[in-house]
Structure 1
Amino acid sequence: MKSTVSKALFIAFAAFVAISCSYQQEHQYRIVFLQCCHDEWRDVMNSEMKRELAFHPEINLEIVDSYSDTEKQVEQIRSLAKQKIDLLIITPNEAKPLTAAIEEIYKSGIPVIFVDRKTDSEHYSAYIGADNYELGKTAGKFIASQFRSGGSIIEIQLEMTSSPATERNRGFHDAIAAAPNLKIVEALETKNGLEDINTHIPRILNEHPETNIVFAHTDFLGVTAYKVAQKEGKVKNLFFVGIDAIPVTKGMQDVKNGVLNATLLYPTGGAEAIQTAVKILKKQPFKKENKLLTNVITSDNVDIMLSQIQKIKEQQVEIEREILKITQLNKTYSSQRNRLYFISALLTIVVILGAFLYFLLQEKQHSNKILEEQNLAILEQKNEIEKVSLLARKATEDKMRFYSYISHEFKTPLSLILTPTEDLLQRKNTDLKETHSTLQLIYKNANRLLRLVDQLLEMRKLDAGKMELERSQNDLVAFIKDIVGDFSVKAKQKHIDLQFISPFKELSFAFDTEKLDKVLFNIISNAFKFTPDGGLIHVSILKNTDKIEINIADNGIGMNAEEKAHAFDLFYRGNKNISLGTGLGLALSQEFVTLHGGEISINSEKNKGTTFKISLPIIETKQVLEEKSTAISYKTTYEFDDSEPLLIKNNSKHTFENTIILIEDNRDLNLFLNQKLEKQYNVVATENAEQGWQEILSYIPDIIICDVMLSGMDGFALTQKVKSDFRTSHIPVILLTAKSQIENQIEGTKAGADDYILKPFNQQLLEEKLKVLVENRDRMRRRFSNEVINPNQLQKGERRFLLEFEALIDKNIKDSTLSVEKLSQELGMSRVQLFRKISALTNKNVADYIAEYKLQKAKILLKEEEKNIAEIAYELGFSTPSYFTTFFKQKTNQTPTEWRNG
């Protein structure tokens, strides 16, 4: 018995020692990498391969160098074909001589991956490398961008038997061909290596002293050429560009040291080659063609690139350290496992002897308990992960559905903008009336898009929890009456009975004027959309002890039960397409009412009309404005979504793009001019300068025609008043007079008149002068539209106004609540007057002008690199850095970080 136990113990101990000392990771796959040659760029490639192999211990990689010997590489390939390898990675030294040998090994069943270079055959598994044609083309484009006035180029080529050399040469020549000011004075092929550069560069520089650019197919060739030119004393005026951008020691460091002016990043593809090899060996999907991206490295971005590469190296060291730890842990694990085997063997012997059975059972039960607890914890984690995954999937689906609806909302107005625009461009004969109607359609749909964007931004603020109420104590009756009054013209046009019914003359109430304005405007606007001509829309207000009710009722088409249930859903589509108002407007209105702590409900039946009821709780506030009239200063930027003409003073049946204020005290002449001009313009006619001035402030017209001899204020005084007021200084003035003396014309010119027409005058001459003034204003708009934000060499008048306006924006730019209303108040003009003034001068609305100013200032701050993105965002008045990033990307298609690093 003792002998048996001793033998069992000896065998178990021997097995333990053997297993404990036998830890070694077995390689499952053998990969051979045939390198064409040896240089620092390929050292980087080999380093990347080894780094990637750290994540794949099952792979054994053998790197074999051919030392630029094509015949030797052919022999190596044929030798490997006879051996047992799983995959071949190769950089062919030359294309044609290696084609047959590589086809043989590929057809034998061994996968082949080309790195950096190819052969003339299509028989290979995958290719990893930069697009050498695009590299050459990018180099040419970069040089063209740096030498717009012209340049002479020396191209230093690799030996043209390799695919990178031929492709880089072709891409470079294509790019230079597109730049007529650039020419290649000579192309030097380095068949004999550096000897060709040392021999021929001095000759070429002497023969072509006009040379100012050297483009080399590699950084090494470029640096060699630099040294030769330096010896010749001709390096000062030369611009050197290479390819490779080897980090630290070469390429990038040469740019940093000023040897090379620029280099193009030529990724090695080492890591990608190993990744592709792993996919091939493990039968996973892979791409055959893997083109690597490039980038131009100059002194502007080389420090950033070097620091990033240094950080990658540090991370690589950390990864290697962790891998070493993992290896040690694996060894420890193996050792512990072997000890466990030994203990198991010992326990088996003890079981045979029957001495330690009880303890073995206890240990086993304990192990099972631990495993059960671990399994339970793993199961709970799995359930949590599934829940999170389900929520993420649902959120993604909601986002995709929302984006889909938004896309549909954009398509209709975009179609109604693009199609009429194309029609206008293709017309040979222009009908003014038809053209104006078409432009109205385009303008209307552009405003639809603007309203949609505004509403999306409002929804985004609500979703982000950034929307806050700004309550103020105001007269609710006057507030609603003012809004209803805005629809009176439209009601008359459609013959709709529009009434505001209130048992109160005034009703003081604390609410956010801006948001409640949008709610009421949207609901009333929708009522007009769905109420036929001759219908009725009644707005009423009631007050209980604890709440106020606002009802908007119409006798329009109404809603069925399903439409009513989803009326406030974002982009709900029932049996017919939704409109903008019902897509976002009602959802936004509901959110604004909820912010007030109120409720909004619908009572509607099909073909019997609809009633919206808004219930708002009465909340006492101590902050009461001293002047109630100033509280209702916000007017919605929405416009009526219809095509009916505006009501003008001459009751014209047409609405034209340009408005003329006609001031003439002779009624016959006034009527005559009115009848003639109303065929092409919106004419507002008055008989005295005082009333004319009020109409000018009201309409902010495009042109003013004024008689000189008027009772009260004469034409000269009115002209001077128009030109001295910055609200109207941009408006051209034509003076009509019977005074033909030259001194009278001089007086009119001094007053600021743009033209002076003597009576009796030729009607055609007047119409032509009007046409020229309108065209000049349009040209000025386009010119100022291009010059805003940077109005150089400012002059008097309009440019001075723009300068003052920009100074006011800059003064308040940090204010996140900056609005058109605030700017107009500080300028001493109404919101409408400011809008028309800016639009007339720059062809932009005020919001776009402010946004453009912030964008340009953001670019200036980003260039300075003294502040981070968050600091810049708050300095520009954005509520959050994320909102600033979204705004900047919408305008430039780049994030602020990308723009700063670009």
Structure 2
Amino acid sequence: MFRYSRTPESIVSILVSVFLCLIATGCRNTKQPHTYTIAFSQCVGNDLWRKTMLDEIKTELSLHPDVKFIYTDARGSSSQQVLQVRKMLAQGIDLLIISPNEAQPLTTVVEETFNKGIPVVVIDRKTTSDSYTAYVGADNYQVGKMAGDYFVSKTKGNINVIEITGSPGSSPAIDREKGFSDGIKPASRIHITGKLNGAWTQETAEAELFKIKDQLGSVNAIFAHNDVMAAGARRVLKELKLTDSIFIMGVDALPGAGGGLEMIANKAINASALYPTGGKEAVQTAFRILNNENIEKVNILQSLIIDSTNVELMTMQWDRISSQQKDIERQQVLLEEQRKIYKDQATILNTVIITLVLVVVFGGLAFYFLVENRKINRSLEAKNEQILKQRNELIDMSAKAEIATEAKLNFFTNISHEFRTPLTLMLGPIDDLIQNAKLNQDEFGNLKLAHKNILILMKLVNQLIDYRKIEYDKQMIHASPNNIIDLISEVIGNFKHIAHKRNIDLRLFTQEKECTIWFDLNMLDKVFFNLISNAFKFVSEGGRIYIHLHRYGNVVQIDVEDNGVGMSNEHATHIFEHFYQADTGLAKGSGLGLALTKEIIHLHHGSITVKSVKWQSTVFTIKLPLGDEHLSKEEKFEQLIDPKSISEQAVHYFAELDITPVSVPAEAFQHPKEHSILIVEDNHDLLQFLTAKLSERYEIFTATNGAAGINEAYESVPDLIISDVVLPELSGKVLAERLKSDIRTSHIPIILLTAQSSLEHQIAGMKTMADAYLTKPFNLPFLLETVTNLLNNRRILKDHYTSEIKTTERLPVSKTLDKKFINDFAGFIEQNLANEHLNVDDIAKAIGVSRIQLYRKVKALLGCNITDYIMNRRLKKAKYLLTNEDHTISMITYMVGFSTPNYFSTVFKAKYGCTPTEFRKQQKG
């Protein structure tokens, strides 16, 4: 191996060479990153919103340490701001960010800057000219309009509003004022009775309100152009001792101490429109401009109404953003420390060049710190983007949830009140008719059925109104001292006849002879009516319902126990939620009774819980406090138990418990009926009604749930099925899909009955291959005619399949499989005649053969090609419709699968020698 040894001279030579290289490298001009000078002219900087904007700008600029930042505060003076901008231009800047104090006075200097080729980013407030590079800020008009829309949706009756505006010449004040006016314009009941110039400050707003203090007594609401003026309005109202019910709304919704979010949470104001500062977005837009990237000239920031429904969510989000921002600041401190280390290392490398190893180490460290610096910057940018995305998603979700909730509550309240009058007007005449001794049995039964269901509907309406009053209108109780044992005994007495009829053991167990507590008679009786009637729904004949009452300490405990079907733990955790329905498979309710029960118990400062074991038992436990120390003076009221009032309420509760067994009229001496019908319905009254009406002409089979309906269909094979959509165990849609997919029952017509009347639900029902979809309440003659037509159509279709092909066109079909093929082929085409895009591939796929096999089979068995057969079937169907139906020519065109009426007329005339119109005239003549 060739070896050589380095002499000291060679080592010195190498070191000298390295030294010279390093000196040369150290002396070489390194390319410095391009630096920019960005100036920010603020109209006024002493309020929280402006301080938040400045903090966002500085935080975002901290990601760009090479940028020189110039900041000026005009302190609310337009002339001062003009001078400051011109002074910054004289210093030499690369980009100007400006928040104009007033639109008109600042327009000239902004245009001067823009015309000099210096990019201008206008933030928050606009000028009267479009001579700027980009605008960043919320749409003040939209903020005002959103506030007006919120006033319209959140208030009722005539509303007198005082509007506290910002500085009259500022663009936000102008836009917000116009937007608010347009927002309330559709509601003629809302009037702006006064406008005050608050000049964006709390002190000015308070002074202006004190000037009109005599007019504030007739004011219902105040809209201030920012939160500090709104807070000032609340302070004035409190000082004048005016009602706290005056609705106050502001704009900004800033986080942090003294911000709008804190005001809403503390109920200093009722609501605020979120007005983002846009500081971060302005800096990001500025750098895109400086980097020659494409930008939008107008960048509108998203806004949102924040009130008590979403303030907690927004506060949590802002806290999270603040925490992330602090993390960023800490990272920046670390970055600055790393940069300092890097500079120190570079100095050492340039001055102490003794060994090559040390140079390599320091060089490696410098490279490492540079890479880590870039990684941290990229990580911080990614976190900022993620936070912004999450914030926007939360805003969207909150807005959608608020709109949906408000719409549902308004609908239910309004419609419930409207139901009472027509129900009362129906109940009175029916009561009179029932007293008529001349009624026959059928008439009497129909009237009793109507009477029963009116009472049920009246109970549901009353529950809905009571729940609305308690949950949303914050109704108070009127409690008085009464013996609760007497109340429970009176309620139980009203259920005795139903308990005796169904052989149910209904009893009250207590060792107390008397137990006096404070409760509201008009509310607490509904609790026991709900719980006992609920127990009756789920207890079978021969069961038991026990009420246990005992007292311990300052509490009375009442247990309502039954040995019914029970429920799972999952259902038990949700049973008190409004509109929740446990899937017991035996009974259905509105999902409102237990929710109302819980609210009433809470109004009495008590509690209610439930324990249940599936298929064994259910126990509802109520705990109510003794004495009156827990009640306020407004909650106390003198009243006594009225047995007559309790009996009147009882009628509404046990009406739905009186179930008549479904029976088919005896037909021992009648001739057998040609057709049979299966009725699947879980409502016993409706099942009895349909059975009675249809049994006169058809043989009737019945089932009360989806699974039983499918089994009955397989066993009885009826000629037609009528099924409800909402059924225990299996829905009517699932029933239709299974029966239509089974060769044993696929030929049976199915009629679906449902209360889901929307077009989407009807389309979903028809997708299950149901033959008809009727919405409740349905017209009985229409149902009977639908049944008749479906049965006749099946008979016509059956005859049609065996006689539709002329003798000269048909070959003998002797084999069973060939007959099945003909029936499948003809049936598929008949079902799809209206599909103008029907083709050979669709038919081959439906029958389960290849395209070539289909051509050959049809040619061999029918003596014609597929296209001619489809065309002949369409023309024959058209002749039938022209002769027997009253549809227009255009409707028949699309019913038989032609694309246009002109093409249909041409083909029809070529086949029959006359147009469809002429053919119809010949038939009628």
Report TM bin, short chain.
0.3 to 0.5
Task: State TM-score, norm by structure 2.
Answer: 0.40
Q: Provide the TM-score with structure 1 as the length reference.
A: 0.41
